[in-house]
Amino acid sequence: MNFDLTEEQEMIRQTVQEFAQKELIPIADEAEEKGEFPREVIKKAADLGFLGATIPPEYGGSGVDSISAAILIEELSRAWTSIGTIIHVHNSVCCWPMNHFGTEEQKKRYLPKLARGEIIGAFTLTEPEAGSDASNVKTTAVLDGDEWVINGSKQWITNGLVAGVFLVFAVTDGATSDPKKKPISVLIVDRNTPGLKIGKPERKMGIHCSETAKSLTFEDCRIPKENVLGKVGEGYKVGMITLDQARIGIAAQGVGVAQAAFDEALKYSQQRVQFGQPIARFQAIQWMLAEMATEIEAARLLTYKAAYLKDKGERISMEAAMAKLAGGEIAMKAANMALQIHGGYGYIKDYPIERIFRDAKIVGIYEGTNEIQKLRIAGELLKGK
């Protein structure tokens, strides 16, 4: 068993850290106050190959291994959570399924543009009645000659206001391998397709620069018949496989956010003097630092293990869920402890921990809540019992 990162993985971490120090950390707080999509930053990230991490070289991407992809999101999120979110969604729930399930024509049409950042990708599954219950999709797509006609709505679409292409889950005619499930399909919809209306931005607690569309509305939205990603009726399967592997990225984000919180707590505790000594000398503070450091490392190892197993081609439903659960929980726990160590200073916007605390909460919610991960894990444990 080897826990050493490869030379390439170490180089990726160093590259992302240097990018973060130069391009992200100096502007993150001010940008979050404005809440605008950071186009220039994303362009620079694309120039470094970050937006093509899950795209093979033959389509213009860097095609890195899954541990490297996790390191990318970990370090981006450690510096600025919004950037980690934007790039993770683009990479893991748009580019990855496009490459994994797409036809050759679909790959040639979209992946080079996605890799260069000419277009941003988005994933649209959630609806008012389809959140944790992903099978309860109401949006429909009816085949009319050589076109699908889509009607319905989606909500909470990360990258929705800027995306050039959407992966849309809709109930379609066609067989499904599971008769208990609706015949859901995944459809590729371009931004400028007539009948597609993009709603206003959501006003969120955190990750302000990761723009989230309040809604996508489809009114007789017509797309070519060949714009099905994967097989007709197999969309639920496509979605679950996609989310399984994508949870590694959110787990990595949790680790990055937690590490950022720990970094701030450690620095502050060594600078802040009370009762004649730095507060880091007090046992209560030391115990919090020790607890944070231990659980961050545990979550990191779970994340890297899931990524390792993914690259081996093994089924990772339980491992990815464990990693995301651990990442989501330590992100919020570390942020809370770090803010407590800061005391009143942590509650004001002059210190980064205030932003980190607000950003941390989302990690345990999107792409499957902590509670859904527990159900996922238990389901795997009880199989065949």
Tell me 234's DSSP state: -
φ, ψ at 5 (rounded to 5°): -75, 150
Q: Can you read off the two tokens belonging to residue 278?
A: 């730095």
How far is it, in rounded angstroms, from Cα 42 to Cα 174?
39
**What stretch of H or E contains 274?**
strand 273-274
Q: Which of 263, 265, 255 is nearest to 286 (CA)?
A: 265
Task: Please pick, among 127, 211, 329, 367, the residue that the annotation labels catalytic.
Answer: 367
Q: 231: which 2 tokens?
A: 């097989």
> 150 near 132, Cβ under 8 Å?
no
Q: Return d(Cα 167, Cα 110) in angstroms, integer.
A: 12
Q: Of 238, 198, 250, 274, which is closest to residue 98 (Cα–Cα)?
A: 238
Tokens 């859901």 belong to: 184
Give catalytic status of residue 367 as yes or no.
yes
238/359 Cα distance (integer angstroms): 29
**123 in Cβ contact with 94 (< 8 Å):** yes
Cα–chain center distance at 205: 17
Nearest CA-CA partner of 268 in 173, 335, 343: 343
229 Cβ contact list (under 8 Å, min separation 6): 97, 98, 101, 102, 106, 167, 185, 186, 187, 188, 235, 238
Catalytic residue set: 367
